[in-house]
Amino acid sequence: MSYDSAKAQFADWGIDTETAIERLKTIPISMHCWQGDDVVGFEQKTGASGGGIQATGNHPGRARTPDELRADLEFAYSMIPGSHRLNLHAMYLDTDETPDRDEIEYKHFAPWVDWAKEQGLGLDFNPTFFAHAKADDNLTLSHPDQGIRDFWVEHGQRTREIAARMGAELGTICVNNIWVPDGYKDTPVDRMAARRRLEASIDQMIDPSQDRAHMRDAVESKLFGIGVEACTVGSHEFYMGYSMKNDTVLCLDMGHFHPTENVADKLSAASLFVDEILLHVSRPMRWDSDHVILQSDDVLQIAQELVASDLLDRTYIGLDFFDATISRTAAWVIGTRNMQKALLRALLMPLDRLRPAEDALDFTERFVVTEELKDLPFGQVWDEFCARMSCPSGLHLINQLEDYQGSVSGR
């Protein structure tokens, strides 16, 4: 079947595939650097990532240097239609110097910015509050020791300055996302004290108030992590309140809630009270396992909410998964394309028909239409989008993914 007949079929349902394709072209996805090297980073040290984050697997080809990571990224972006962003963590500095976390400066990341300019990519940034001796207790910004808190506040302040400069250099807003591993393995007696310390530290870290021209502060909650099963200091309620009170972006990671909670449902509710949301689109399997995202119902529902609730212009779409049992570049490419496919499907919904049905309480119509819709030739529209953006799909994509993996497997 050709694109033209697919287009006609969608048109029968009152859906304009051209409008959907044009809209999809404008939606950037922030691809996370850490899928490329199993969350190891480029600080000249050895050790596990810590903080309850777990990449498993030993597939050949892990990027060991910034140059290898950039080469992998260039390949991945060439397989992903559209222009996108890179989400960098502070532990991915590119320098011969060995600054501690409280000593990092813009110059340590300047090669990334030069490269991003050359590639036409935007950058997002993250302070790294894990994989460090001063985070070994799984307490950082909420640590009872003032000296440790000060160290991490300094780190966070520096990342904000670096993020603001990145945003200014690239002419796009750089989101600086704060996630700390802080929590307790067993039931604490003074949750309140820990939360007061976390609040005070973040207040200090994001003061003076943010430079909204070039960067945003985001805060990311979590339910639990390995080693902090009893209490996570930065819980959802904590950061939902924090972001509302302090006008920061709220980050929702799909792996950071009870497994049966629907993160898509949170978007409209949270958006009434915070201006902007950052998503970490992920696939928790039984726990926050960070599997590569699929075209699964929960991802489709997120995309539908972004479209139907008109949230695309105030949501930053980031990805957060890492799988070291498969080709890391293939994971990036398929995961990112899956997010785009979900968005395309959402953009191809006949909302003009579904909304009135729902308002008229005609749930049968809503049910029948949404199910029948699944049989429309979506794949043809996706292929057309890829072709227009000079990206392969189907078997051509698979061949290129395999060839590239073959070329790096000797690392």
Is 290 in the active site? yes
Smallest gap from Cβ 52 to ligand RNT, in A, equals 7
Q: One of 7, 84, 89, 256 is an active-site residue; which one?
A: 256
Nearest-Å Rg of the Cα atoms of the chain is 21
CB-based burial, 320-358: b 16+ in 10 Å, e otherwise: bbbbbeebbbbbbbbbbbbbbbbbbbbbbbbeeebeebe
Contacting residue, 101, 155, 197, 280, with Zn ion by CB under 5 A: 280
Instruction: Write out the DSSP string of 74-103.
Output: HHHHHTSSS--EEEEEGGG---SS---GGG
Q: What is the DSSP letter of 279?
A: E
Is 117 in the active site? no
Residue number with the smallest Cβ distance to ligand RNT? 179
Smallest gap from Cβ 288 to ligand RNT, in A, equals 6
Token reading at 88: 């960098």
222 binds, among ligand RNT, Zn ion, none (CB under 5 to 8 A by kind): ligand RNT
Token reading at 147: 């000296």
d(CA 278, CA 258): 19
Sign of CA dihedral 150, 151, 155, 161: positive
Q: One of 290, 298, 305, 383 is an active-site residue; which one?
A: 290
Q: One of 72, 253, 305, 323 is an active-site residue; which one?
A: 253
Q: Is 288 one of the annotated binding-site residues?
A: yes
CA neighbor of 293 nearest in space, from 321, 313, 265: 321
Smallest gap from Cβ 380 to ligand RNT, in A, equals 35
Which amino acid is present at 225?
A: G
Q: How many residues does the chain have?
A: 411
Residues 1 to 60 in contact with ligand RNT, rule: CB under 6 A: 34, 39, 53
Q: Is 290 one of the annotated binding-site residues?
A: yes
CB 162 within 8 A of CB 106: yes
Q: One of 84, 222, 236, 266 is an active-site residue; which one?
A: 222
Q: Is 256 one of the annotated binding-site residues?
A: yes
Smallest gap from Cβ 6 to Zn ion, in A, equals 36
Q: Which residues are annotated as a binding site for Mn(2+)?
A: 256, 288, 290
Which active-site residues does the annotation give?
A: 179, 220, 222, 253, 256, 280, 288, 290, 320
Where along the sequence are the contacts to Zn ion (CB under 5 A)? 253, 280, 320
Where along the sequence are the contacts to ligand RNT (CB under 6 A)? 34, 39, 53, 89, 126, 179, 220, 222, 253, 280, 288, 320
